[in-house]
Chains A and B, each alone.
Chain A
């Protein structure tokens, strides 16, 4: 895949359309910047994260940047977006790799558990029970279980795929070359926009029909008389349905939360 070069105006229009949730624009934007995302993902090699997932996180970061980027700023889009792409990847890595996720205190507690287990093994030539570990560390059973669950060793990039297997391939080798067309295609196939708001989904069928026809949304714009005739209604009734639909949307967007005076 050859990186598409966007003109400044096209890039701006694409970012704005992507900000609005336009699927085609999102896809084109992602395609254009995927090589850049791959470049950033390479920096995370060895971070115990699958490259494909990293790319997907990077794509999410790019689309988030598009929702926030103000073309009026003097910063070019990628200079802006790369921060969010990297941040999305960093957060993903932090989430899937234990040492970053754990608090400083939890890391210290884990070290206490490991030390206690080692001492016990050296002394008794067998593994300690949970009670024995609890006594040695001062941690409750629940704390021990919670911490030990995080002890699950993340798979290292250079770890052998299957012990005893004839293959000497490592996990790192099995990751698809990120420059390969296949990897790009998979990211694009799994592209999730997820934030396109369509207010008509808040309306019932008849309200939707009136609003779409009257404003020409996805169809030819019609007058209220024409819409009414099509639905077997008067123009005035069609107008009332439209007004009611708009009021419903307004209420939906401005729902009152409970107020101090009301709830206390």
Chain B
């Protein structure tokens, strides 16, 4: 199979044994290298050691990425991969990647990472990359393996390539798995001034009052500036700003006067012409960003 030169190809490999993983991953990368493509392996440290050995002399042309601390929050993981891909695409016109995905033990967060896999299709849709996400069938819970078919258009399972008949539109899947945000009555309304400048000054005061660390306070100021600017430019102006603590985190809500928007992938699309970068930046700096319609107006909520 040839990679497309103009867009993402996002597949999954469900493997039963180490041999099966190697039998797929190694020739896949070698073929790419021989055709002048970039090659990336993302895996745990022992997985990388194994691949280095199996790739032999080809290993010198492969970028090895340790994923042991990469899968923290979806937006940050996407940003980390974007950096790796961008650097590789400075050197080669196309790239191939085999990435071992790190789902956690808690069923409560599986939807979050299924959403990550779904939005990956849109996040990097513009990149000339062929990415195979690998899943070890042994030890990976069935619901996760099932979700692989919903988030990857093609899946290698039982040693054969399959076009997934369960693949879901990424936006639809994201809407389905993203919990509806609840209202947070514990937040308080604050004066936000006449412009972004005064908004930042006031927000900084609130962050100091809540004893948020300096580094995190600046993260919030930069992220909130993006949200505030969006409300001014696209939301008909800022109606209200609310801040406070919820579930132990500092939260800032910016309510605007516009009709709002419904794009579950907002802020998850890697920067490219025609795609706003503000929400991408804001998501990288914060724990979570939610959008909801509340009685006071369309609301962007930033969790620090």
Binding site for B on A (CB under 8 A): 9, 12-13, 16-17, 19-22, 60, 64, 67-68, 70-75, 80, 83-84, 88, 91-92, 94-95, 100-106, 142-143, 146, 150, 195-200, 211-212, 214-218, 221, 239, 246, 249-250, 253-260, 263-264
The interface size of chain B toward A, counting residues with CB under 8 Å, comes to 72
> Does B68 contact A88, Cβ atoms closer than 8 Å?
yes
CA distance A84 to B69 in the complex (A): 10
Which residue from chain A places its CB closest to the CB of B246 in the assembled complex?
A72
Residues of B within 8 A of A74 (CB): 108
> Does A103 contact B53, Cβ atoms closer than 8 Å?
yes
> Does B109 contact A70, Cβ atoms closer than 8 Å?
yes
- 21 pairs of residues in contact across A and B, judged by CB atoms under 8 Å: A60-B69, A67-B73, A71-B248, A73-B106, A84-B104, A91-B68, A95-B45, A95-B49, A103-B50, A104-B19, A142-B56, A195-B69, A215-B207, A246-B222, A254-B281, A255-B83, A257-B82, A258-B90, A259-B127, A264-B6, A264-B94
CA distance A146 to B55 in the complex (A): 12
CA distance A73 to B179 in the complex (A): 12
CA distance A103 to B94 in the complex (A): 28
> Does A260 contact B7, Cβ atoms closer than 8 Å?
yes
Answer yes or no: B162 CB below 8 A from chain A CBs: no
Pick the contact of A216 from B19, B86, B204, B281 — CB < 8 Å?
A: B204
Residues of B within 8 A of A257 (CB): 82-83, 85-86, 89, 127, 270-271
Question: B86 CB to closest chain A CB, in angstroms?
Answer: 3
CA distance A250 to B104 in the complex (A): 31
Residues of A within 8 A of B105 (CB): 80, 83
CA distance A103 to B48 in the complex (A): 11
> Does B222 contact A250, Cβ atoms closer than 8 Å?
yes
- Nearest 6 pairs of A and B residues by beta carbon: A257-B86, A94-B46, A254-B277, A83-B105, A215-B204, A73-B108
Question: B55 CB to closest chain A CB, in angstroms?
Answer: 11
Pick the contact of A254 from B53, B54, B201, B271 — CB < 8 Å?
A: B271
List residues 1-34 of chain B with CB under 8 A from any CB of chain A.
5-7, 17-19, 22
Which residue from chain B places its CB closest to the CB of A11 in the assembled complex?
B248
> Does A12 contact B213, Cβ atoms closer than 8 Å?
no
Known: A102-B50, A103-B22, A215-B217. A16 touches B249 (CB 8 A): yes
Which residue from chain B places its CB closest to the CB of A224 in the assembled complex?
B197
Pick the contact of B213 from A22, A211, A221, A250 — CB < 8 Å?
A: A22
Kindly list 8 other residue pairs between chains A and B, CB separation below 8 angstroms, not including A197-B219, A257-B127: A67-B73, A83-B105, A146-B53, A215-B218, A221-B204, A239-B197, A250-B226, A258-B90
Residues of A within 8 A of B218 (CB): 198-200, 211, 215, 217
CA distance A257 to B129 in the complex (A): 13
List residues 193-210 of chain B with CB under 8 A from any CB of chain A.
197, 200-201, 204-205, 207-208
> Does B213 contact A20, Cβ atoms closer than 8 Å?
yes
CA distance A83 to B219 in the complex (A): 29
